[in-house]
Amino acid sequence: MRLALFITCFNDTLFPETGKSVVRVLRRLGHEVEFPYDQVCCGQMHFNSGYREDAVPLVRSFVDAFEGYDAVVVPSGSCTAMVREYHAVVARQAGGTLPAGVARVAPKVYEFSEFLVDVLGVTDVGAYFPHSVAYHPTCHSLRLLRVGDRPTRLLRAVRGLTLVDLPRADECCGFGGTFAVKNVDTSVAMGGDKVSAALESGAQVLCAGDNSCLTHIGGLISRQHAGIRVLHLADILACTEALPDLQPYGPGLDIASGFAAEQTPAPEVTR
């Protein structure tokens, strides 16, 4: 199986550790993942903000970058949903050969938990993470991809991890891409309630499959010194007894929790 990683522009730029975690988990399971350097962005921000014409070249470059792979794994629910649900819409508008290209590539694109559970057939990835974790199902993974209980099945199989229920879990955190700045007050009101729910859950760590949502929730937590950390699912699944919880970067920037980020990249340890 020729396997590619679509890191997403957001993770590439702000959360490289999540990408490293994906590589690490897959390698542990015996799969090498390629990183096509021509990849950039799925075009979601442009598409969702009304700049649909500007999304066309991005969709085209996505097809070019990932054509020929058997599967593309993406550590983001919303970017996966953009590719699978909306690239066809952009392509239809653009015409030419793009619709056919999207039809070939998009069905092979999987969100990280989908890839592990559905393609690899794994729920126990050999991870160890001795903390209590609440899982927030991000909206696009919940309602567009319908990932269902895949992430929680993966989390339940992690040794040492205690999964606790997140109250009102299916409510949006209020990130919503440019919504977070265009409707900043509403976005923050929604995010504040999500932070309250996370606190109510009693978890140490709030986990999700989208670093974008976690940046918003984590940004609120950090400002409020709320004392919870946010972590991408991949970053939890990457942890083992040999390498417990060493993410130097994470969207959970909670200084109070003692996981403050370092300035220099920590030595990358794999295997």
Partner 1 sequence: MTTSVRREPTFVGMPPFPEAAHAELANDVQRANLRAATHTIRAKRDAVVAEVPDWELLRRAGEAIKDDVLAGLPGYLERLEVAVRAAGGVVHWARDAAEANTIVVAIARAKGVDEVVKVKSMATEEIELNNALARAGIHAWETDLAQLIVQLGEDLPSHILVPAIHRNRAEIREIFVREMGRFGRPAPERLSDEPGALAAAARRHLREKFLRAKVAVSGGNFAIADTGTVCVVESEGNGRMCLTLPETLITVLGVEKLLPTWSDLEVFLQLLPRSATGERMNPYTSMWTGVTPGDGPQEFHLILLDNGRSDVLADPVGRQALRCIRCSACLNVCPVYERTGGHAYGSVYPGPIGAILTPQLRGIAAHRVDAQTASLPFASSLCGACFDACPVRIDIPEVLVHLRAQLVDGERGPRDRAEEVGMKAVRWAFEKPWRIGFAQHVAGVGGRFARHGVIGRVPLPKRFTGPVSAWFADRDAPAPPAESFRSWYKRTDGGQEE
Residues 248-267 binding partner 1 (CB under 8 A) are 249-251, 253, 255, 260-265, 267
The CB-of-66 to partner 1 minimum distance in angstroms stands at 13
**Binding residues among 145-164 for partner 1 as defined by CB under 8 A:** none
Question: 66: which strand partners?
Answer: none
Binding window for partner 1 (CB under 8 A); candidates: 110-118, 157-165, 181-189, 200-208? 181-189
Please report whether residue 201 would count as binding partner 1 according to CB under 8 A: no
Give the type of residue at 252: G
- Nearest residue (CB) to partner 1, 68 versus 265: 265
DSSP notation for the chain: --EEE---HHHHHH-HHHHHHHHHHHHHTT---B--TT-----HHHHHHT-HHHHHHHHHHHHHHHTT-SEEEES-HHHHHIIIIIHHHHHHHH-TTHHHHHHHHGGGEEEHHHIIIIIS--S----B--SEEEE---HIIIIIS--TTHHHHHHHTSBT-EEEPPTTTTS--S-TTTHHHHTHHHHHHHHHHHHHHHHHHT-SEEEES-HHHHHHHHHHHHHHT---EEEEHHHHHT--SSS-S--S--S---TTTT-PPPSSPPPP---
Residue 158 vs 190, nearer CB to partner 1:
190
* Binding status of residue 125 toward partner 1 by CB under 8 A: no
Does the footprint of partner 1 cover residue 29 (CB under 8 A)? no
CB 137 to partner 1: min, Å: 11
User: CB under 8 A: which stretch of 37-45, 102-110, 115-123, 148-156 binds partner 1?
Assistant: 37-45
Name the β-bridge partners of 232.
208
Q: Which of 2, 29, 53, 196 binds partner 1 (CB under 8 A)?
A: 53
Map the footprint of partner 1 across residues 206-245, applying CB under 8 A. 215-216, 218-220, 222-223
47 contributes a contact to partner 1 by CB under 8 A:
yes
Binding flags for partner 1, 96-115, as an x/- string (CB under 8 A): --------------------
**Count of residues touching partner 1 (by CB under 8 A):** 85
CB of 22 to partner 1, least distance (A): 10
* 54 makes contact with partner 1 (CB under 8 A): yes
Q: Which of 49, 123, 162, 257 binds partner 1 (CB under 8 A)?
A: 49
User: Distance (Å, rounded) from C-alpha 170 to C-alpha 136?
Assistant: 8
> By the 8 A CB rule, do 87 and 106 touch?
yes
Q: Whole-number minimum distance, CB 154 to partner 1, in Å? A: 21
